[in-house]
Amino acid sequence: MPVAKQTEIAPAEGRLGVLLVGLGAVSTTFIAGVEAIKKGVAEPIGSLTQMGTIRLGKRTDNRVPLIKDFVPLAQLKDMVFGAWDIFPDSAYDAALNAGVLEKELLGQLKEPLRKIKPMKAVFDQTYVKRLSGTNVKTGKNKFELAQQLIAEIAEWKRKNKCSRLVMIWAASTEIFLKPHAVHKTLDSFEQAMRDNHKAIAPSMIYAYAALKSGIPFANGAPNLTVDIPALMSLADKNKLAICGKDFKTGQTLMKTIIAPGLKSRMLGLHGWYSTNILGNRDGEVLDDPDSFKTKEESKLSVLEYILQPDVYPSLYKDFSHVVRINYYPPRGDNKEGWDNIDIFGWLGYPMQIKIDFLCRDSILAAPIVLDLALFLDLAQRVGMKGVQEWLSFYFKSPQTAPGLYPEHDIFIQLMKLKNTLRHLRGEDLITHLGLEYYD
């Protein structure tokens, strides 16, 4: 990740291919959104790269460019999309099926969406129990499947006349896997692929294929995937950016906004109970206890890290934290998330906060996919390799260098992201000290 101040940044010339693993609710909402924005019928709301600004210099300098004017990002008109899925539906049919966007809007985008047909997936039902599909690759072993992906990626890049590619995992959440001895080195990982070892999940095969093909990789689900030493060292060796895990949307987004506020005022916490009803395919997959366990691990760690019970035992020791996701088909993608937060204040007097967030999961996730695609491509052109901790802002369970605890506080994450951009462009970092205004 280290990169010198005011590094040379290669320009964003040519087309940027965005390869999406999974062509479900999140991916189709993302692609349709970009096509709608290109057509001028929608605005990129929720996207920091498109709408965000960055303050430079002193408050009195009045230098506040848009982020996209400050760093050389690829333009939306230069983005092309490819995907893999176990279902053969085009992006248009998959978007209709996901039911996130209105038919009328999708009708206007039919032409570009129909053209996106998913490539055959690397899939094994052992890792996603609730799904089965026909659009699936076959091969002698996992290593051979990886070779098929590598060949397919090269062909896709050529056909679509792309100068650069990024890959983003937006496929279903796999079952919970613990790091295994075969994940330690690239050699043991490759041997395990040849042996069809159980510890190698499909998501790892895609990540391996991306990194072997010279493509940066982001993981939008809580699966282990690229968060293993073998793939981290491959990313380092091939000078590629990686980041994950699990897009930060919905309830966890709210948690990382509210918990830092409570802590900043030294308000205590007895418990935080979160429950959701969700009726899309993601909800159906998460109804399987093994897939839910992966998600639960990702969601639970957030409060521990933000509240630091070890540092503030009288405020946060032993608080109770429960997270539930209930599959409830009538709601589709329109999730409802309830939070009951039991806090306490001066002299230990208890208070309660109730949140009822009627959210739209994929509407919150789509701009994250856009920003990650653009920032990963930027990182690549800058020469930033390995784990991109400055992109923690987008994840529930941010990947960090080994031995470092993740930063979950969204305000610190945003400051880190913007300071990274200032650093890249040779601008002063903003510390908010501000003493100079009073000299």
Ligand X SMILES: NC(=O)c1ccc[n+]([C@@H]2O[C@H](COP(=O)([O-])OP(=O)(O)OC[C@H]3O[C@@H](n4cnc5c(N)ncnc54)[C@H](O)[C@@H]3O)[C@@H](O)[C@H]2O)c1
- Please state the closest distance from residue 197 (CB atom) to ligand X, in A: 17
Q: By CB under 6 A, which span of 18-26, 257-265, 304-312, 403-411 interacts with ligand X? A: 18-26
Residue from 18, 19, 26, 37 binding ligand X (CB under 6 A) = 26
- Please state the closest distance from residue 131 (CB atom) to ligand X, in A: 6
- Per-residue contact string for residues 281-310; x = within reach of ligand X by CB under 6 A: xx--x-------------------------
Residue from 12, 16, 18, 21 binding ligand X (CB under 6 A) = 21
Is the Cβ of residue 24 or residue 33 nearer to ligand X in the bound state?
A: 24
User: How many CA atoms within 13 Å lie on the side-chain side of 188?
Assistant: 12
Distance CA 90, CA 153 (A): 18
β-strand pairing of 119-120 with 79-85: parallel
Is residue 396 within 8 Å of residue 11, measured between CB atoms? no
Q: Is residue 361 part of the contact set for ligand X (CB under 6 A)?
A: yes
Distance of CA 27 to the CA centre of its chain: 12
Is residue 9 within 8 Å of residue 424, measured between CB atoms? yes
Q: Is residue 128 part of the contact set for ligand X (CB under 6 A)?
A: yes
- Please state the closest distance from residue 65 (CB atom) to ligand X, in A: 29
The token duo for 263 is 């802590």
Distance of CA 406 to the CA centre of its chain: 15
- Rounded to the nearest 10°, the torsion over CA 132, 212, 242, 398 is 40
Q: Is residue 221 part of the contact set for ligand X (CB under 6 A)?
A: yes
- Please state the closest distance from residue 414 (CB atom) to ligand X, in A: 18
Handedness of CA 343, 348, 350, 351 (dihedral sign): negative
Is the Cβ of residue 362 or residue 420 nearer to ligand X in the bound state?
A: 362
Residue from 49, 50, 173, 392 binding ligand X (CB under 6 A) = 173
Q: Is residue 22 part of the contact set for ligand X (CB under 6 A)?
A: yes
Q: Which of residues 248-277 bind ligand X (CB under 6 A)?
A: 249-250
Backbone φ and ψ for 15, nearest 5 degrees, come out as -95, 145
Write the DSSP assignment of 184-227 as a string of letters.
SSHHHHHHHHHTT-TT--HHHHHHHHHHHTT--EEE-SSS-TT-
Distances (CA, A) of 274 to 192, 339, 369, 436: 38, 5, 25, 44
Residue from 225, 362, 399, 420 binding ligand X (CB under 6 A) = 362
Residue from 36, 91, 106, 121 binding ligand X (CB under 6 A) = 121
Is the Cβ of residue 246 or residue 389 nearer to ligand X in the bound state?
A: 246
Distance CA 39, CA 42 (A): 8
Q: By CB under 6 A, which span of 122-130, 256-264, 265-273, 300-308 interacts with ligand X? A: 122-130
SS3 string, 13-43, reads CCEEEEEEECCCHHHHHHHHHHHHHHHCCCC
Nearest residue relative to ligand X (C-beta): 24
Residue from 35, 85, 227, 288 binding ligand X (CB under 6 A) = 85
Is the Cβ of residue 268 or residue 398 nearer to ligand X in the bound state?
A: 398
Q: By CB under 6 A, which span of 53-61, 155-163, 171-179, 306-314 interacts with ligand X? A: 171-179
Closest CA to 123 of 211, 49, 21, 194: 21
Point out which residues bind ligand X (CB under 6 A): 21-27, 84-87, 98, 121-123, 128, 131, 133, 170-173, 202, 220-221, 246-247, 249-250, 280-282, 285, 361-362, 364-365
